[in-house]
Amino acid sequence: MNSISLSVLDLSVSSVALVCVVGRLVCELLSSLMEFAGYGMECSGFMRECGVRLASARYAVFGIDYEGHGRSTGSRCYIKKFENIVNDCDEFFKSVCAEKEYRYKGRFLYGESMGGAVALLLHKKEPSFYNGAVLAAPMCKISEKMKPHQVVINILTGFEDLIPKWKIVPSKDVIDSAFKDPVKREEIRNNKLIYQDKPRLKTALEMLRTSMRVEESLNKASH
């Protein structure tokens, strides 16, 4: 898998293993489910509460920190190629589903924000493999008010291979706009595993291209 260390996979699985145990204590597991966090987020803390609730409903819940996110290695929140993220998640979840305990269980995807785009692209890649998906505010369309002018995009694109990791893309405070609860905001700001700096140039362009690609293929998504 692309620059995702084994120790991180072990941590991701073990940190959710407790969640899975909670589900198994109720009765037999119904299905396996893969959680995908949003840009800059991480699974072990931010997504844990959601995982616990799903596990109590008899789902075996798994998560993975993308390369450069959370506890994974790599430049912080640097996305060289969005396809790498999708391939990592695809390989990881399939390795889980191949285990005897989950082989004949349902397979579901749950994604928030950028994680929603990951879930959509995974489903598009092999729709017959999944039984369904839940998307929370998925990154599948950019408002015209938020979309940079094409001239700006062209200028940034001209520099992306020269300064791909530079944090030069202006952006609003995502935490303030995405979370209304002041307690939740403070909790997220205090989580050192969550990226809170400006997006890197290559990362911003990859997310822009991906959201546009996902938007174009939405009519092909199964309901």
| pLDDT 10s digits, 117-128 | 999 999 999 999
Provide the CATH topology of domain 6-220. Rossmann fold (3.40.50)
Closest-CA residue to 45 (of 21, 12, 78): 12
Domain limits, the chain: 6-220
- The CA dihedral of 130, 32, 195, 173, to the nearest 10 degrees, is 70
Q: What are phi and psi of 133, to 5 degrees?
A: -150, 150
pLDDT for 5 beyond 70: no
User: Could you tell me the pLDDT band of residue 217, with boundaries at 50, 70 and 90?
Assistant: confident
pLDDT (tens digit per residue) in 9-28: 333 333 333 333 333 334 56
Question: Which residues, 6+ apart, have CB-to-CB distance to 161 below 8 Å?
Answer: none
The CB-based long-range contact list for 47-55 (8 Å cut-off, 24+ gap) reads: 47/112, 48/15, 48/19, 50/110, 51/16, 51/19, 52/19, 52/22, 54/19, 54/23, 54/110, 55/19, 55/20, 55/21, 55/22, 55/23
Chain mean pLDDT for the chain: 83
Residue type, 3: S
Instruction: Average the pLDDT over each of 15-19, 76-80, 86-90, 179-183 and give the range with the smallest value.
Output: 15-19
127: DSSP letter: G
- Report which of residues 77 and 220 the model is more confident about: 77
Q: What's the whole-model pTM score?
A: 0.84
CA distances to 72, 79, 145 from 149, rounded to whole Å, are 33, 22, 10
